[in-house]
Amino acid sequence: MSLTGSQLVKSDSIEHMFDTVVADEALVVGASVDEDWFDPAWLDEVPPLEDGGQVPASRCVPSGWLALELDQGCADPGGLSDAELIEGIIGFDHLASWAGARQAVLLAQFARRRPGDHPLAVGCDQPSAASEFAPDEVGLALRLSRTAALNRLVMAQAVVEELPATLAAWQGGVIDSLKARAIIETSYLLPREQLGALEERVLPRAGEQTVARLRAGLARAVLALDPQGAQARHEQRRKDRRVGVSPDGEGMASLWALLSAPDATAAYQRLCELARGLGSEDPRGMDARRADLLIELLTGRRCAATGDPRGQDCPEDCDHPSRSDQGHVHPDQDDARQNPADQGPGKPLVSVIVPITMLLGLDDQPGELVGYGPIPAELARQIAADGTWRRLLCDPVSGTLLDHGRATYTPPAGLAEFVRARDVYCRHPICGQRAASADLDHTIAYHPDDPDGGTTSEHNLHASCRHHHRLKTHIEGWRVEQHSDDRVTWTTPTGHTYTSHPHDYRPEPPRPPPSDDPPPF
């Protein structure tokens, strides 16, 4: 059975379904309804598609028709090929997005029919958008708590009334419900007149991004559109920093800390450096090593100055290092690895990427804290104040680093630094591991005696975390191609292709000028 969007097939089930459902749908869109308006014979007049109608389900616009085709085509999953299973999975995911968007339209309409009626609404700055009791109706209907139902109504109103492009992408299956939620939640941080600019910045790539990368793009857009507001929110949130402990069952507990992003990243990288320094003979995994090292450092069983257990070359003043900058984060400009022995306490490997215009105070472009994401301009300036700098020359059109190359198996330091700075993260399309701690993988295997073998050069090297390095090298059916512009395309065993791009160093586009039009009332 071929799982494609082929010519629709007439059946009794289709006829009976549209006796009721299509009439209901016509009520929603405002079309006139007549009991006999749908003629099943119309299905015979649907023209066949070219090439035998072999359109993958992943390329079909989600609709009730696609739902019917997928329902029939996936009735026997055991009879589908691997590629058809993937197509069906994608198709149903697009349908779930379509259904969620259509439900949001209905929820927004319902909210409009239950206008604000709270007696205190007239005394607050923002009047109620819907009745206080509307969530009770929706909660009963969907078996949701009142809070969950209220969230559904509020988000539906926001996307329908203020984010039309997001609603269209959601209904078209370009983004799923989690991505739509991320955009809606971010929109609360900006004034209404900037929401269109937010959509223009994030939607073009939202369909190919993970939710985490989309949220990073949203954060970057907010920082660019409203730098002063972002800095104020950071300063307010920083006041909430704290440490907590909570029971976790089976004799375990969770110790957590809310810290500024640079401090948290620096602390984690220090633990990673110490964990790697324990050597391959240590039977513990990296997670267990980091956990044990944290306890040893906090309880005084390990020297904070040297990272060694107490009593092993631990200086007498190790609790009070002579460094005047103890506890201050000093980032490095690039992603190249450094010798852990050269990094004392207070100066772990932390990378921040900033445009030179922002550093000079000419604009407030957001910085990029590698391993965390976008940060406000002022915070990036503070981190960079005492950092070790490296100039990275990039193409102003594409935003990628310019050429650099060598031809030996082990990349020289300069080439390794270049590739890691170009990629920033693992080049698998959905991975967020830092390039600084990733392998440098030869896209085409290095064979110096083979004229067709790969070279050790920027166009044949990419950052790859150990998991995806093993996937490419050892798992049959996976193929990786690196293009001349350093895009990396991964082909799965089913033949589906996915592409990742090198880090884009171009600054955010300028903020749109304020509108002269009066605000809507």
**DSSP string for residues in 439-471:** EEEESSPB-TT-TTSBPSBGGGEEEE-HHHHHH
Say what the pLDDT of residue 413 is. Answer: 78
Angle (CA) 283-286-289 rounded to 5° is 70
> Cα 302 to the chain's mean position, in Å?
37
List CB contacts of 128: < 8 A, sequence separation 6 or more.
Answer: 115, 116, 117, 118, 121
End-to-end Cα spacing for the chain: 56
Both 198 and 72 in one domain: the answer is: yes
393 within a domain of the structure (yes/no): no
Distance (Å, whole) CA 169 – CA 209: 14
Distance (Å, whole) CA 139 – CA 154: 13
299 within a domain of the structure (yes/no): yes
Both 137 and 82 in one domain: the answer is: yes
Distance (Å, whole) CA 192 – CA 226: 12
Distance (Å, whole) CA 291 – CA 273: 13
Where residue 502 falls (left for φ over 0; alpha for ψ -120 to 50; beta otherwise) is beta
Distance (Å, whole) CA 434 – CA 503: 12
Both 344 and 488 in one domain: the answer is: no
Angle (CA) 499-503-506 rounded to 5° is 125
> What is the residue range of 188's domain?
12-232
Both 154 and 271 in one domain: the answer is: no
123 within a domain of the structure (yes/no): yes
Both 32 and 116 in one domain: the answer is: yes
For residues 507, 431, 254 and 260, what is the CA-based torsion angle, rounded to 10 degrees? -10
Both 137 and 193 in one domain: the answer is: yes
Task: Give the up-direction half-sphere exposure of residue 61: CA atoms within 13 A in the CB hemisphere.
Answer: 5
Is the separation of the CB atoms in 96 and 90 below 8 Å?
no
Query: How many of the other CB atoms lie within 10 Å of CB of 282?
Result: 14
- Residue 456: name the closest of 417, 407, 412 by CA: 407
- Residue 67: name the closest of 52, 88, 47, 48 by CA: 88
Is the separation of the CB atoms in 210 and 430 below 8 Å?
yes
Both 115 and 209 in one domain: the answer is: yes
Say what the pLDDT of residue 312 is. Answer: 58
Angle between helical axes of 146-162 and 164-171 (0-180°, round to 10): 110
471 within a domain of the structure (yes/no): yes
Strand ordering across the sheet containing 488-491: 479-482, 488-491, 497-500
The token pair at 285 is 């995994």
Both 114 and 63 in one domain: the answer is: yes
89 within a domain of the structure (yes/no): yes
Say what the pLDDT of residue 443 is. Answer: 92
The token pair at 87 is 């197509």
Query: How many of the other CB atoms lie within 10 Å of CB of 21?
Result: 12
3-state class (DSSP) for residue 500:
strand
3-state class (DSSP) for residue 367:
strand
Say what the pLDDT of residue 14 is. Answer: 35
161 within a domain of the structure (yes/no): yes
Query: Which of 232, 265, 285 is the last residue before a domain boundary?
Result: 232
Task: Give Cα separations from 76 to 63, 70, 71, 79, 494 (angstroms).
Answer: 21, 11, 10, 6, 19
Query: How many of the other CB atoms lie within 10 Å of CB of 126?
Result: 7
Whole-angstrom Cα Rg for the chain: 28
243-250 contacts, C-beta under 8 A, 24 or more apart: none
Distance (Å, whole) CA 48 – CA 213: 40
Is the separation of the CB atoms in 390 and 334 below 8 Å?
yes
Distance (Å, whole) CA 160 – CA 305: 56
Q: Which helix (H) or strand (E) holds 247?
A: strand 242-249
Q: Which helix (H) or strand (E) holds 480?
A: strand 479-482
Strand ordering across the sheet containing 367-369: 352-353, 367-369, 373-375
Both 298 and 190 in one domain: the answer is: no
- Residue 69: name the closest of 81, 77, 57 by CA: 57
Both 69 and 215 in one domain: the answer is: yes
Both 285 and 344 in one domain: the answer is: yes
> Cα 88 to the chain's mean position, in Å?
24
Instruction: Give, as one character, the DSSP assignment of residue 328.
Output: -
Both 263 and 301 in one domain: the answer is: yes
Instruction: Give, for all 521 residues of the chain, the pLDDT tens digit.
Output: 456 554 333 334 333 433 433 333 333 333 333 444 444 444 444 444 444 556 788 889 999 999 999 999 999 999 999 999 999 999 999 999 999 999 999 999 999 888 765 555 444 444 445 688 889 999 999 999 999 999 999 999 999 999 999 999 999 999 999 999 999 999 999 999 999 999 999 999 999 999 999 999 999 999 989 988 988 999 999 999 999 999 998 899 999 999 998 889 889 988 988 998 888 899 999 999 999 999 999 998 888 777 777 655 565 555 443 333 333 333 333 333 333 334 444 454 567 777 777 777 778 888 888 778 888 888 888 877 766 666 555 555 666 555 444 446 778 877 888 898 889 899 999 998 888 889 999 999 887 677 777 788 888 999 999 999 999 999 999 999 999 899 999 999 999 999 999 988 777 776 666 655 554 43
Say what the pLDDT of residue 315 is. Answer: 57
Length of the chain: 521
How many structural domains is the chain composed of? Answer: 3
Beta bridge partners of 499: 489
